[in-house]
């Protein structure tokens, strides 16, 4: 299912002249009423305090809605926290979120653990990472949002056939 997502995103638009590589971190179709694709622009990875890393993640939903999450990851421990977030709706309106008051644990073997590994090892490792190119964040959101809707619809139809 993930391979179909990547292939569809790549085919939906011509490669822009100046493309940005986004790393696809996770595709979640567990709740078909709210499918989510999590992406990250590795250009946002920066050193943080105490050997931590800072990075921005995009949680993309259908209807061109997405949330930007500016995260701090503890590279020597299994924890992270959201420093800020912004919701973007289909009209371009933004709504700020609230930062985390405390650190959240990252469970071994979870998507969060893999995200932490990519961010804390950057730029030395991309093993297992799927790269999607887009000219801008909005290009990525539009393509991923459309594909998420198509994938959710297909999964619903497959479930109705059974």
* Contact in structure between 131 and 23 (CB atoms under 8 Å): yes
Q: What is the pLDDT of residue 87?
A: 94
Task: For residue 108, give the DSSP letter.
Answer: T
67 pLDDT band, cuts 50/70/90, is very high
Contacts of 23 (CB under 8 A, 6+ apart): 39, 40, 41, 42, 118, 126, 129, 130, 131, 132
CA distance 118 to 124: 9
* Contact in structure between 85 and 57 (CB atoms under 8 Å): no
pTM: 0.77
14 pLDDT band, cuts 50/70/90, is very low
pLDDT at 51 over 60: yes
Digit-coded pLDDT (tens) for 24-37 = 888 887 777 778 88
128 pLDDT band, cuts 50/70/90, is low
Digit-coded pLDDT (tens) for 97-121 = 999 989 999 999 988 898 898 899 8
- Which position has the token pair 């567990």? 30
Q: What is the pLDDT of residue 45?
A: 93
Q: What is the pLDDT of residue 16?
A: 42
User: Which parts of the chain fold into alpha helices (H)?
Assistant: 2-12, 111-121, 137-161
């Amino acid at each position: 299912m993930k391979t179909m997502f990547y292939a569809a995103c790549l085919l939906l638009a011509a490669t822009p002249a100046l493309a940005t590589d986004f790393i696809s971190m996770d595709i979640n179709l567990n709740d078909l009423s709210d499918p989510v694709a999590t992406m990250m622009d590795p250009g946002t990875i920066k050193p943080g305090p105490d050997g931590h890393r800072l990075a921005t993640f995009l949680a993309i939903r259908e209807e061109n809605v997405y949330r930007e999450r500016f995260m701090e990851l503890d590279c020597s421990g299994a924890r992270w926290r959201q420093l800020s977030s912004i919701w973007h709706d289909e009209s371009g309106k933004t709504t700020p979120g609230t930062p985390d008051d405390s650190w959240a644990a990252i469970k071994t073997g979870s998507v969060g653990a893999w995200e932490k590994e990519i961010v804390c090892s950057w730029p030395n490792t991309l093993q297992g990472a799927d790269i999607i190119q887009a000219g801008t964040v909005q290009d990525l959101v539009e393509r991923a949002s459309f594909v998420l809707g198509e994938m959710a619809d297909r999964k619903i139809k497959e479930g109705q056939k059974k």
